[in-house]
Amino acid sequence: MGQRIGVIVFLLGLCSLSATAESSKPTTQPLVASVVPAATDLIISMGAGDHLVGISNYDDTSRAELKHLPKIGDYQTIDWERLRVLRPQILIIFQSPDRISPGLKERAAKLNIRLINIRTETLSDLFTELKNLGQLLNENEKAATAAKKFDAKLQSMRQRLRNLGTVKTLILRDETTTATVGRGNFLNDVLELAGGQNVIEDSGWPTIDRERLASLNPDVIIVLLSNASPQVEKQAAAAIARLPNISAVKNNRVKIINVWYAQQPGLHLADLADQFAFFLHPLSGTDASDK
């Protein structure tokens, strides 16, 4: 008899735990899973994180807003079994429309999940996608407020820098001196906003060799790392130091920015732009990294 009562108590405990887990899940409809860190961040930034039930393998779960969310995949692989349990109505992806596989569409359809393909390649795209996400989540007011605040920060920077010249700048995106940032993307937009002139004239994300870097001879070098280890930071500094004839190196105008949002499109780009602007034009305002 005692054993039977113990089993009943144990089962009741499991039910209680299950109910608690269920009650901790977001209840704001529609529920969303995202394999696009930029989209995840836009949703969090607009104050609509209670819609999220799953995030990308590349999201930084050390952020308090994301700690409780399970990872459901990335650009190449999606955990459909986990999505079956989480039951989102929407899955956010980032792919060229002509490259979305029939298999992805079929699996999403079987789970009654609507695929939403977003574009976050430029600063302008962020405003467009904020509006789209606001409509999608029935959070138009939150999206509009976030967009207005973001735009105000950008306009304030433009006003501060309006009478200052541009600075020839090279942006590197890892600890080597070969991976660069070209034009036609959100990081180039941020650089131009902050008073920089990109020495790379190619579009996209080109790689260069040391000879080309020497010929470009930037006045400033900015290295963007995404929560890299101290060892990687040291490797980046050492790689730059091996280029003593570059103007930026000779004049000690090299900055390493190592934050989670350094290479991610999102509303934190206003903070990144502040850091760019303060380094390019030290008297222009406050460095966001000191806030």
Instruction: Indicate which CATH number applies to the domain containing 183.
Output: 3.40.50.1980
Same-domain pairing of 191 and 94: no
Same-domain pairing of 182 and 257: yes
Is 8 part of any domain?
no
Q: What is the pLDDT of residue 62?
A: 83
Q: Which residues of the chain have pLDDT under 50?
A: 1-2, 5-24, 26, 290-291
Given 111, 144, 177, the domain boundary residue is 144
- CA angle, 236 then 240 then 246, to 5°: 160
Same-domain pairing of 62 and 169: no
Same-domain pairing of 127 and 222: no
**Alpha-carbon span 170 to 152, nearest angstrom:** 27
Same-domain pairing of 118 and 182: no
**Alpha-carbon span 66 to 198, nearest angstrom:** 34
Same-domain pairing of 174 and 280: yes
Is 67 part of any domain?
yes
pTM comes to 0.84
Same-domain pairing of 179 and 86: no
Number of domains in the chain: 2
Same-domain pairing of 223 and 168: yes
Same-domain pairing of 34 and 129: yes
Q: What is the pLDDT of residue 95?
A: 83
Q: What is the pLDDT of residue 12?
A: 43
Is 203 part of any domain?
yes
Looking at the DSSP assignment, which residues form a beta bridge with residue 179?
207
Is 45 part of any domain?
yes
Is 2 part of any domain?
no
Same-domain pairing of 176 and 260: yes
Same-domain pairing of 99 and 38: yes
Is 247 part of any domain?
yes
Is 11 part of any domain?
no
Is 58 part of any domain?
yes
Model confidence over 33-63: pLDDT tens digits?
999 999 999 999 999 999 999 999 998 888 8
What domain range is 55 assigned to?
A: 24-144
Same-domain pairing of 275 and 229: yes
Q: What is the pLDDT of residue 179?
A: 97
**Structural contact between residues 128 and 102, judged by C-beta atoms closer than 8 angstroms:** no
Task: Return the H-helix or E-strand segment holding 46.
Answer: none
